[in-house]
Chain A
């Protein structure tokens, strides 16, 4: 025992360095990445978002059609109707998921001509409490989610928006499992590559 004590006393600096290295290794390689998408701030507003007066969970298909015009395409997925409505893009359509005749999710397409930025949403609802990451390694857009406000946006760090989503208020885990299966709270570990 005394030998061990003397040994430690003699080489305490080395042991300390080794310990530090061990901690670094454990921290960096063994413990999974820290979740970077936890609470950022409290939303500014408690208002539940809607799209052109269409309220997810309330608005019926007929009402939506009267507001947006008849869908240009309609399909069925997992028992839900996916209705596509014209957007300002020639190649992307606004999507409305309808369950039992009622809209449950609206995906609004945003183009450059819409002049809409993520700052517009942040101004009203504050910073998004959750950020979800696309699992494609080269992705540069993240999904910023306000579960209690029923709104999320697919945005770039420079403020560019691709889509704004409207849904019934829901907790974040249910949101992921219901609407955002291709997204995760953690960034993909893969890197952009060719």
Chain B
């Protein structure tokens, strides 16, 4: 009879047991969790560990056992957990005979135990104290480091801005001698494809590079970042804009005595970035096969101060200073967003930043949609493969490591250098490479590093930071504490102020105040049969109504109802009984409300006020309208006219420019089509916008037959300067439905408050991405054949939150401005909220999530990105899908979503298909 042992109940067990379990996991799971089937075994068959030590009634029982033991449903992670514990398990110690016991032999047995316990307690108390003190010191040191870094980078930003002013309007002309190289058909095809649809090309190239065996040892996120960056480089090389050539030009221009002073810092950083970009690309392809350039020193660059044949115009600010400033701002932002200095956090933040930057850059690339030739992804695949790989093994050393090259190539090298110096975490970055280009220009890099290293040495916390991953900031977004709270000293009033739609009711101020006090007084008076109070209440009520609409009876009645309609449930519903009592007891509040209404600019932050008026800022608003908004499928080219209206809303605006345009086409059949070409003329250079006098311009776009049965989303971003603020931006956006455009019930509507332009554009773009990228998800959202309205209504949302799924006829989801500051954030948030909508209309969705193991994987703790997901299946499911659609700016801790929450990821992948 075979006797089996009971498997261990905890991980704190002996090595033999752990080794047996490790072998069992490896035997049971021969497949890849993400590669298809998890195991070759039938779930119902009995399962015995390979060494015959343990036996389970079924494979399923074994899975359940391992999941419970290791607290993870991911077998790879479970296997790693077992290995970790194996390393910790006490080793067998050979018995060498009794030596003198460290314990006083004269003490009785009980005394020995007490002595041990006492020592242990003292040691534990000491350990806690050291940990707390270290934690405090680390926090202080991190803050100090951030200050030092920020001061350094601010100084660089200042220098760059000064250079920008001095170089304004200075143009030079550049000629680069191209080597004679015969273009093979593969390269020709690749060039064509890159021009036809840059976004698609980069996407396909990235996929192709992702298969490269040279990067298989990197983490998934690192692989993605490396492949993305290299695909962008391949695009640049194919479109005659090689980073090597760019570096050569920058080098030449920066060494010119006329501009050297202004350019050397920026050029140092950019040349380093371009060279790293090229260095990284070498892991994937040989760019010299495309353009013939092999070495920066061999590139002949000529410059001229006057136009000449064969010379191209080169704007120093556009080409050098602005990208440098952008890099600096990104680095500043990156370091600012670190929540702790643990290795995982830093790497994920950096990789996330890189992903965001590349995506933003790719989004701006112009598509050559007029090229008649259709895009063919197989050409990219074949072409890329034909170029071959030039390295057999990945670079592994710190110097020239792939991760380091990705970071530097993305313009985040300086920040990473500082972080690396401060923490001791190897990010694979170093001081500027000793390329020939770098020798002339390296000031910027050195300055930054010096500051970081010297302070790190002084504070002496290097190493500790890497080990202690204590969070510096909470994950929940806390809203600003307004002046009112401090002033009044009561959060009751603060809540009241937050809930009142100021913009709408300001003009009814006196009337509302009278109503708020009068009606309750009347109520109390009637209830208590108190005549003076009744009459007082009545008087105020009547006055309130009358002052809103005039003194006629009809006007008074109409006014009364209209006023309550205006205040509506948004205010009184939120205020409720307690506030009502508060108001009855303290009529002084009326005076305060009137004060707040009439001096709103003082007590409500300016930005909040403009947001509540449906604007991104108080200065500028932009609207964009398409005419017609719906067209039938065009046989040839059908013109659609767009009207853009730019309005100054506060002060006169100058330097009004078109900052950018973006477009997205969602085809009903899921195919990829480029956007129609927009021929928008630049705005007049001397354009001045005064309040109330909008500048309106039209442009026409030809919609071709390739856009049949599609939704075309289009937005324009305008920037301007006012005396009070420079660089104000806002957007206008519009969607055109062509033919039988994809069924999309999700609408961005002004049913509550008007949407500010930027937020609307971000949300509309997010909805378009969701429709195009996750049609299965949208189909579930729209499965009850009703429109789903997304509304803007900040007063309806509690402080600290971003959106609510309220499921009413006019608004299904209400948002404030907080979670919509970028398209990525908006995509996450709208997916999360629409999941609640699915949960409301399709009960089986919750059942599916529960039975996917996703909720169980969270083990009651929820997602690291949102504390309310703990023990809440509905919020967890919404978060699981939201994170799959997009990792938001606050979701750094879930950057490795696929590996951190594998069951949730797999569920989301299946659910959104």
Contact = CB atoms under 8 A, between A and B. Distances in A.
Nearest to B879: A194
B858 to A, nearest CB: 11
B872 interface: yes
B846 A11 contact: no
Contact of A17 (B557, B573, B847): B557
B844 A160 contact: yes
Contacts of A139: 874
Interface in B834-888: 836, 839-844, 846-848, 850-853, 855-856, 866, 872, 874-875, 878
B803 interface: yes
B421 to A, nearest CB: 38
Contacts of B566: none
B846 A162 contact: yes
A156 B806 CA distance: 17
A138 B872 contact: yes
The 7 closest A-B pairs by CB, nearest first: A156-B843, A160-B843, A138-B874, A192-B805, A22-B523, A193-B804, A91-B853
A30 B851 CA distance: 43
B851 A90 contact: yes
Contacts of A26: 523
Contacts of B850: 89, 91-92, 162
Nearest to A30: B577
Interface of A: 4, 7, 11, 13-15, 17-19, 21-22, 25-26, 28-30, 72, 89-92, 110-112, 136, 138-141, 155-162, 191-194
A40 B9 CA distance: 49
Contact of B840 (A89, A140, A194): A140
B847 A162 contact: yes
A193 B853 contact: no
Interface string B556-594: 110010001000000011011100100000000000000
A91 B856 contact: yes
B396 interface: no
Contacts of A111: 847, 851
Contact of B803 (A11, A15, A161, A193): A193
Interface in B111-126: none
B560 A17 contact: yes
Contacts of B844: 112, 156, 158, 160
Nearest to A4: B531
B836 A138 contact: yes
Contacts of A11: 538, 542
A138 B846 contact: no
Contacts of B851: 89-92, 111-112
Interface of B: 60-61, 63-64, 519-520, 522-523, 526, 531, 535, 537-538, 541-542, 545, 553, 556-557, 560, 564, 572-573, 575-577, 580, 797-798, 801-807, 819, 829, 832-833, 836, 839-844, 846-848, 850-853, 855-856, 866, 872, 874-875, 878
Nearest to B542: A14
Given A22-B523, A136-B872, 11 more contacts: A4-B531, A13-B557, A14-B538, A14-B541, A26-B523, A30-B577, A90-B63, A141-B843, A156-B846, A158-B844, A162-B846
A155 B526 CA distance: 46
Nearest to A19: B526
28 contacts: A4-B531, A7-B535, A15-B538, A18-B519, A18-B537, A22-B519, A28-B572, A28-B573, A30-B577, A72-B64, A89-B851, A90-B64, A90-B853, A91-B852, A111-B851, A141-B846, A158-B844, A160-B846, A162-B846, A162-B847, A192-B806, A193-B802, A193-B803, A193-B804, A194-B803, A194-B804, A194-B819, A194-B866
B328 to A, nearest CB: 33
Nearest to A192: B805
Contact of B843 (A90, A136, A138, A157): A157
Contacts of B541: 14, 18, 21
Contact of B802 (A17, A92, A194): A194
A18 B522 contact: yes
A181 B746 CA distance: 37
B833 A194 contact: yes
Given A30-B580, A91-B852, A112-B848, A138 B60 contact: no
Contacts of A162: 846-847, 850
Contact of B801 (A7, A15, A160, A193): A193
A29 B581 CA distance: 11
B839 A193 contact: no
Contacts of B545: 14, 17
Contacts of B557: 13, 17
Nearest to A18: B541
A72 B61 contact: yes
A29 B798 contact: no
Contacts of A161: 847
Contacts of B848: 112
Interface of B is mostly: helix
B606 to A, nearest CB: 26
Contacts of A160: 842-844, 846-847
Contacts of B520: 25
Contacts of B833: 192, 194
A21 B874 contact: no
A138 B878 contact: yes
A175 to B, nearest CB: 22
Contacts of A14: 538, 541-542, 545, 553, 556
Contacts of A110: 847
Given A22-B522, A193-B801, A194-B829, A138 B875 contact: yes
A92 B856 CA distance: 8
Nearest to B538: A18
A31 B797 CA distance: 24
B842 A90 contact: no
Which of B564, B803, B839, B843 has most chain A Cβ within 10 Å? Answer: B843
A192 B874 CA distance: 10
Nearest to B576: A29
B301 to A, nearest CB: 52
Given A18-B538, A162-B846, A140 B577 contact: no
A11 B539 CA distance: 10
Contacts of A138: 805, 836, 839, 872, 874-875, 878
B840 A25 contact: no
Nearest to B852: A91
Which of A17, A18, A161 has most chain B Cβ within 10 Å? Answer: A18
Contacts of B553: 13-14
Contact of B519 (A15, A21, A90, A156): A21
A191 B839 contact: no
A138 B801 CA distance: 14
A140 B839 contact: yes
A193 B798 contact: yes
B519 to A, nearest CB: 6
Nearest to B61: A72
Given A21-B564, A90-B60, A191 B806 contact: yes
A4 B803 CA distance: 51
B910 to A, nearest CB: 13
Contacts of B843: 140-141, 155-160
Contacts of B519: 18, 21-22, 25
Nearest to A117: B843
Contact of A136 (B535, B805, B853, B874): B874
A191 B531 contact: no
A11 B843 CA distance: 54
Which of A155, A156, A162 has most chain B Cβ within 10 Å? Answer: A156
Contact of B878 (A15, A158, A194): A194
B804 A192 contact: yes
Which of A19, A25, A159 has most chain B Cβ within 10 Å? Answer: A25
Which of A157, A191, A194 has most chain B Cβ within 10 Å? Answer: A194
A84 B819 CA distance: 42
Contacts of A19: 526
B847 A112 contact: yes
B73 to A, nearest CB: 8
A193 B802 CA distance: 7
